[in-house]
Amino acid sequence: MDEVVKAAAGVSGTETARFKVLNDKEPRTTGEYVLWWPTECPRVQWNDTYELAKSIAVQADLPIICLYAIDLAFYSMGSIRHINFLLEGLVELKKSVESSNQSRLFLRFEPVGSGAALSVVGSEDLSFSGFGEKAYAVVTDAVYMPRSSKILASAAENLDCPLVSVESSVVIPIRKITTDGQVPDQSAFLESWMDICTDFVKPRKSVKLTRSVPSSMEKLDCGCVFGSRDREWYPGDWLQESDRLKEVLNENGVDSEVSAVTSAYRGGESGGRKLLGIFVTRKLDAYGYASENYGETKRGEYGSLLSPYLNFGFMSPSEVISRSMESGAKGHSLDTFLEKLALRDFAYVRSALEPNYGSYEAIKESERDAIEQIKAKDEDRTYPDEEWAHAQTHDNVWNGIQRELLLRGRNILNDRNIWCYKIIDIEKSSRNAFRLARKLNDKYMLDAIGPVGIFALLGCFESYAGYRMSIVGGGEG
């Protein structure tokens, strides 16, 4: 298979370091299509995974179909807020991939407890076949979180055709910027990243498909469905049938009580591109000064506001950089903005390579000790998770920030660092504070449940002792 993929990558212009064949299966000679299985990057532009999938389809003279399988166990860390944002983007993706009858998009929900890509590989126990069973090859996104890595490994083993993964979430592929699978020091990483990033932000070629989807493939009786009427449902149907959506989410442990976000954010690549346009024309020139002076506050005024779009893969960070450079911005503002995207890539590297990333133990030991020493002198206090979630602590500043988060799905008026520092301040146990901060961030922040949120929380915990020193002169609270 390696040769087939290399030839296809040559045509699509996909760098060798960006893709990997995850098993040693031969392409299925009777395959009816190439399966594009986006898990991290459901977009059609600036998408190496999609371009490589199309290129393999052209080489094999086959059509391409797209399966989006929503892993409900993963979203049980988030809420209906994330599912709605994702479905909005999938409505747009469906329109784009199906234009000119080029492809078909199918949507499935993977139930909690399945722990595997059931809709791709199929399930004998549940008597349904997988979309991968008639595929010549399956092309998917590289993943960075432990749960997703396990699912990908199990799909690679259980599929009887090649599974190819492509790094489309990051600017520079991990293999290109790390050695021996080790996480580099952050400053060294940022320096090398800034040196070579321009090599990775060239516009992607759009591979032209040569075969359209035959009418026999318009409906495929594959994958996991909860009820027979769900089989024919597409993203727009689920958004419209919100009671049925809530029922499925409740049955699978995804909180459906969280309110929809009260803002203009709608999922999908066109929404992201609109924000990017506003950012490069109106905000980027002043970004360096503003981000240094306002930090996490007033993001709405100076930031791109792209984090949910980058996190859900509706926007490519390479496109963001390319447009920023084309805008004519340079100097301090451009460098400061690029550094933010470099930090984002670094979060992905850490998530992929550090076994305990996301746990309390991922905080540097010296900083954990420093927090624990400070907290030993603090009042013995805790609140139940629900009181935290509903902004019912004694601290009105924290409650105010949390209320903004409940309404908007992000804190753009307030300082996200303060939101996190105050959780550590209030809770006696710093381990519990970390669990809570992660839980609240993941459930309510629209840009959460990904490597960057964890990275930011680790940053807050690692700078907490310094913060405490600055406000109470040594932490004698």
Ligand X SMILES: Cc1cc2nc3c(=O)[nH]c(=O)nc-3n(C[C@H](O)[C@H](O)[C@H](O)COP(=O)(O)OP(=O)(O)OC[C@H]3O[C@@H](n4cnc5c(N)ncnc54)[C@H](O)[C@@H]3O)c2cc1C
DSSP class of residue 228 equals G
Looking at the Cβ atoms of 32 and 167, the one nearer to ligand X is: 167
The type of residue at 279 is F
**Pairing label, strands 19-21, 128-129:** unpaired
Cβ 21 to ligand X shortest distance, Å = 29
Using CB under 6 A as the binding criterion, the count of chain residues that bind ligand X stands at: 28
**CA 107/CA 85 separation, integer angstroms:** 15
Cβ 317 to ligand X shortest distance, Å = 7
Q: What angle do CA 61, 102, 219 make, to 5 degrees?
A: 95
Looking at the Cβ atoms of 106 and 464, the one nearer to ligand X is: 464
Q: Which of 49, 148, 115 is nearest to 352 (CA)?
A: 148
* Interaction residues for ligand X, span 308-367 (CB under 6 A): 310-311, 340-341, 343-344, 347
Binding mask 428-457 for ligand X (x = CB under 6 A): -------------x---x-xx---xx-xxx
Looking at the Cβ atoms of 136 and 348, the one nearer to ligand X is: 348
Binding mask 393-432 for ligand X (x = CB under 6 A): -----------------------xx-xx------------
**CA 244/CA 341 separation, integer angstroms:** 38
Q: Is 53 in the site for ligand X (CB under 6 A)?
A: no
Q: Is 307 in the site for ligand X (CB under 6 A)?
A: yes
Q: What are phi and psi of 310, to 5 degrees?
A: -70, -40
Are the C-beta atoms of residues 166 and 38 closer than 8 Å to each other?
no
Residue 464 corresponds to which tokens in the numbers above? 């907490």
The type of residue at 105 is L
Looking at the Cβ atoms of 152 and 445, the one nearer to ligand X is: 445
- Provide the phi-psi class of 268: left if phi over 0, else alpha when psi is between -120 and 50, else beta: left
Q: Is 460 in the site for ligand X (CB under 6 A)?
A: yes
Q: Is 254 in the site for ligand X (CB under 6 A)?
A: no
Burial class (CB in 10 A: 0-12, 13-18, 19+), 325: middle
Residue 143 corresponds to which tokens in the numbers above? 């993943």
Rg of the chain's alpha carbons, rounded to an integer?
Answer: 23
Q: Which of 362, 304, 309 is nearest to 333 (CA)?
A: 304
Residue 390 corresponds to which tokens in the numbers above? 């509903």
Looking at the Cβ atoms of 329 and 347, the one nearer to ligand X is: 347
Cβ 140 to ligand X shortest distance, Å = 22
Are the C-beta atoms of residues 27 and 7 closer than 8 Å to each other?
no
* Interaction residues for ligand X, span 18-37 (CB under 6 A): none
Cβ 419 to ligand X shortest distance, Å = 6
Q: Which residue has the tokens 């994330």?
A: 82
Looking at the Cβ atoms of 104 and 350, the one nearer to ligand X is: 350
Q: Which of 268, 271, 272, 303 binds ligand X (CB under 6 A)?
A: 303
Stretch that binds ligand X, among 4-12, 258-266, 304-312, 358-366 (CB under 6 A): 304-312
Strand partners, 396: none
Cβ 320 to ligand X shortest distance, Å = 7
Q: Is 96 in the site for ligand X (CB under 6 A)?
A: no
Looking at the Cβ atoms of 448 and 465, the one nearer to ligand X is: 448
469 three-state secondary structure: helix
Cβ 26 to ligand X shortest distance, Å = 39
Q: Which of 304, 333, 402, 414 binds ligand X (CB under 6 A)?
A: 304
Cβ 453 to ligand X shortest distance, Å = 3
Q: Which residues bind ligand X (CB under 6 A)?
A: 296, 299, 303-307, 310-311, 340-341, 343-344, 347, 416-417, 419-420, 441, 445, 447-448, 452-453, 455-457, 460
